[in-house]
Structures are given as C-alpha cells and as structure tokens.
Amino acid sequence: MSEQAMIQKTAEAPPKIFWTRKKREQLAGWLFIAPEVIGMLVIAVFPLVFSLVLSLTEWNLVGGLSAIHFIGLDNYINLFHDNRFIQGLKNNVLFTVGTVPLTMLLGVVFSAVIHKKLYAKAYFKVAFFVPYICSTVAIAAVWQALYHPSKGPFNQLLMQIGISDPPRWLVDTSYSLIAIMIIYVWQLLGYQIIIFLAGMTNIPEELYEAATIDGANGIQQFRRITMPLLGPTTFFLAITSTISSFKIFDMIKFLTDGGPNYSSTVIVYQIYEEGFEHFKMGYASAMSWVLFLIIMLVTSITWITQNRKVHY
C-alpha cells in the first residue's frame, strides 16, 4: 500500500467512535454538576418537602419515625389561635417596618456623602462595615452590657441628663424589641453602604459634570441623578433586607429568648422553641412553612415586578 493510500485510509474511515466528544462533554457536564445538585437536593429540597409532610403530623421524636401520626391541617389551624406565634408574626412585621426603611435611608445618605464628598473613602467604607463582619453573638454581648438597666452607660447617661426612669431596654416588655432593632440597624448599616456605593460607582461621572454645568447643586444632583439611577439597587436592597429581617434569630436567642413575656419573640424563635425545646416537630414544621410562604411571597414580588423595574 502506498503512503498516499495509507493517509487516505486513516483520514477517511475513522473507526466507529462510540465515545464521541459530544457524549464525553454530556457526561462531564453531569459529573461536574452532580455533587452540587445532589447536595442541594439532600440539604434543601428534600427537607423542604419533608417539613411539609411533618407539618401535617404530630410527632415528638420519641418512638422513631413509626410513631408519627397524621392530624391533617390541625397544626395550621392551631397556629392562628396561638398567641405566641401571632405575637411573633407581629413582631417580625414591626421589626421589618422599623429597621428596613431606616437602614436604607441612612445607607443611601451616608454612601452618597462618602461617594461624592469625603476624603479617605476607603477608611469610611471599612469603618462602617466593621460591625457587619463581627460575630452577631459577640456584638450582642457588648450591647447587652451597654443596655444594663441600672449601671449601663446608656441609662447612666440618660439619668445624668435628667431622665430619672429610663427604659429597662432588653428586660422591658415595651422596649425589648426596639433595643434589638437598634443593634440590628447598627450592624447592618455598613452592608447597605457597600451595596449603595457599588451602585453609585456605576453611575457615569459625565451626568454629574453636565448637571454642574447646568448649575444643579449637590442636593438637586442627588435627587435628580443619583436616586433615579439607583432604582434597581434600592429595589434589590429592599427585597433582600425584608427577607433577612424575617429570618432574624441570633440576637433574639442570645439576648432575650423571645422575652420578657414574649415581647421580642419572632417566627424563627418560635420555630426553635417549639421544635428544639418542646420537641413538637409537626407544629414547628407548620410554622416553618408559614415562614417559607411569607418569604416566597416577598420574593415573587421581585419576579413579578422585575420587568417593570425602573430602568433609565
């Protein structure tokens, strides 16, 4: 056989490859994605479905899985006659209303000033961000001392300026939630500043230059340029902050255990108490599903309004 023919043969008739590149890529794709997908199915999706099933049962862990018995929708019906749960729901709503708009307002003003006016921007970014990366529990311990009803610096200061009967903060039924809201705003402000700053950096400098030429002052520029162009960022922050405020737990557990007298309880704390202190697994699961549905509702607002979002 001539050399020519040999070359032709190898080129012409590649042996039937079963294992084509395309097939290998298919397989590789699935193998690479598999750990993540399987993991998420096991630690997120299955538990979500499992808790829906559990929410229709009464079970206290004793006697193993065979001791579960179904009670239909009773847990859900009981939930809405449960004063603690209702109190928790109310507190969650109060918490969101009291912290989200305030942090966002402070966040946008602070970041606008840092972005446009201040020297040493890097310092301010870091300084306000510090509480956000600190352990919530460790921070809570500090504030608990600051809030001490008789000896703490806050109340000593208040008494010094003539308030003889200052609030007892964390141990006061009418102030416990507010006291925690203050810590929360303090810890979260830095996060909001970072996100707003990122949004502002994306606004083209020319817009401000043009406005300056037209004689617009700083506040006018903020209202007419910065605010409208920050629409998507603001929207994103409003949604995510609302969702995370509904998940608040760490501070409540560490500082008040939902008290005094359930004045600072929230949904996640009630899930913890019913599930992990009273071992009412079915009942706690029903609460979990109410939380999940609330969060889905807030999220779906994002999906629905996504296409109508303010674009300029």
Residue 16 found at the interface with other proteins (CB under 8 A): no
Q: Which of residues 53-112 bind other proteins (CB under 8 A)?
A: 54, 61, 65
- Direct distance between the N- and C-terminal alpha carbons of the chain, in angstroms, rounded to an integer: 72
By C-beta, is 6 or 61 nearer to other proteins?
61
Q: What is the distance between the alpha carbons of residues 130 and 142, in angstroms, rounded to a whole number?
A: 14
Q: Which residue among 16, 69, 81, 117 contacts other proteins (CB under 8 A)?
A: 117
Could you say whether residue 236 binds other proteins (CB under 8 A)?
yes
**Nearer CB in complex with other proteins: 6/37:** 37
Smallest distance, Å, CB 119 to other proteins? 5
CA distances from 215 to 30, 156, 211, 223 (A): 59, 49, 6, 14
Please confirm whether the linkage preceding 204 is cis (ω < 30° from 0).
no
Q: Which is nearer to other proteins, 223 or 278 (CB)?
A: 278
Scan residues 152-181 and list those touching other proteins (CB under 8 A).
Answer: 152-153, 156-157, 160
Q: Strands 57-58 and 69-70, how do they pair? A: antiparallel
Give yes or no for a contact between 68 and 57, defined as CB atoms under 8 angstroms apart.
yes
237 touches other proteins (CB under 8 A): yes
Residues 288-307 that bind other proteins (CB under 8 A): 288-289, 291-292, 295-296, 299
Give the one residue of 6, 7, 45, 109 binding other proteins; rule: CB under 8 A: 45
Q: Which of residues 180-209 bind other proteins (CB under 8 A)?
A: 186, 189, 191, 194-195, 197-199, 202
Chosen residue from 5, 6, 7, 33 binding other proteins by CB under 8 A: 33
Q: Which residue stretches of the chain are H helix? A: 3-12, 21-40, 46-54, 74-79, 83-116, 121-133, 136-146, 153-160, 176-201, 205-213, 218-221, 227-229, 231-246, 250-255, 267-272, 281-306
CA 197, 198, 201, 203 torsion-angle sign: negative
Q: Considering beta carbons, is residue 76 or 129 the nearer one to other proteins? A: 129
Site for other proteins in 239-278 (CB under 8 A): 240, 243, 247, 249-250, 253-254, 268, 271-272, 275-276
Q: In the complex with other proteins, which residue's Cβ is closer, 5 or 134?
A: 134
CA 256/CA 260 separation, integer angstroms? 7
Piece of 1-9, 76-84, 147-155, 257-265 that binds other proteins (CB under 8 A): 147-155
By C-beta, is 172 or 302 nearer to other proteins? 302
- Residue 69, beta-bridge partner list: 58
